[in-house]
Copies of this chain bind each other. A is one copy, B any other.
């Protein structure tokens, strides 16, 4: 039997516009950043610890007070990485149908794995005093041909209003056309940004930002500022090492954007496309390395941090970045990619 769903959003439980709490930021913690993607269910505890420190000491303002005082709360979304991706790929969960016993098996294996990761992420946050609660998309989100048809944004909003920090994750969901699919964390971020209108969005990845080609290739350059236009175009406005990438109308064909070549739920194109879609809403997007001082500063300061990049020539540290302690002051020169709407 095929699941019967409508595509009507859960407006019934959505707070009205005036009641919606202010949302400061949505942070996406990449699956490739927080796990060792090649090793089954292997966490990178130092990356998680770094984010936990950032959230526990955010500008000295506890999340709950920030959320309820008007400063705005935080939503965290994490990917699956090596929790969930292996069975999801092996059993073809992204294509469905759920009526196929093999796909259904993959669905349950993937979900059991990614909810395990969610438990680890939430557990670490709660242990540090952050008012985090897991909010697993299955049952809240439904898709139609991989596009969000029913959103769980209203539930996230209600939790924010209560001073809580919702932690969502890329998940297996039911899909009215395919039976089931994988809803990526990046797509979740776009949906939540549209509904919650945060002040900014941060993607924490396993490399320092978006490059003009795979970052492991010689001569790869970090794109420091990408301008998107309302019509769907974009151009590289600033590249690390000076001289911008030139104007490029609907996209720079000399640029093979690379954030994380190993992402299994849509790869580079999807991630950058989702980031551009968010920026096109007028919400600045920062892409930086998880576990680095740059990632930490992006989470704490939002687009303000990129002011240090505007005049900077080259980063002060090597490619690796590594895990820096979450410090109170921003790095002298921020390394990462800022994606903003032209004119903003």
Contact = CB atoms under 8 A, between A and B. Distances in A.
A307 interface: no
B12 A6 contact: yes
A108 B129 CA distance: 9
Contacts of A142: 13, 158
A277 to B, nearest CB: 24
B152 A134 contact: no
A317 B8 CA distance: 54
A5 interface: yes
A230 interface: no
A188 interface: no
A64 B101 contact: yes
A34 to B, nearest CB: 17
A79 interface: no
A2 interface: yes
Nearest to A149: B13
A111 interface: yes
Contacts of A98: 162-164
A68 B13 contact: no
Contacts of A11: 12
Contacts of A163: 1, 98-99, 104
Contacts of A19: 4
Interface of A: 1-6, 8-13, 15-16, 19, 21, 62, 64, 67-68, 98-99, 101, 104-105, 107-109, 111-112, 115-116, 118-119, 122-123, 126, 129-136, 138-140, 142, 150, 152, 155-156, 158-159, 161-164, 166, 174, 179-180
13 contacts: A2-B161, A6-B12, A8-B13, A12-B150, A62-B101, A98-B163, A99-B163, A104-B131, A107-B131, A107-B133, A115-B134, A139-B158, A140-B140
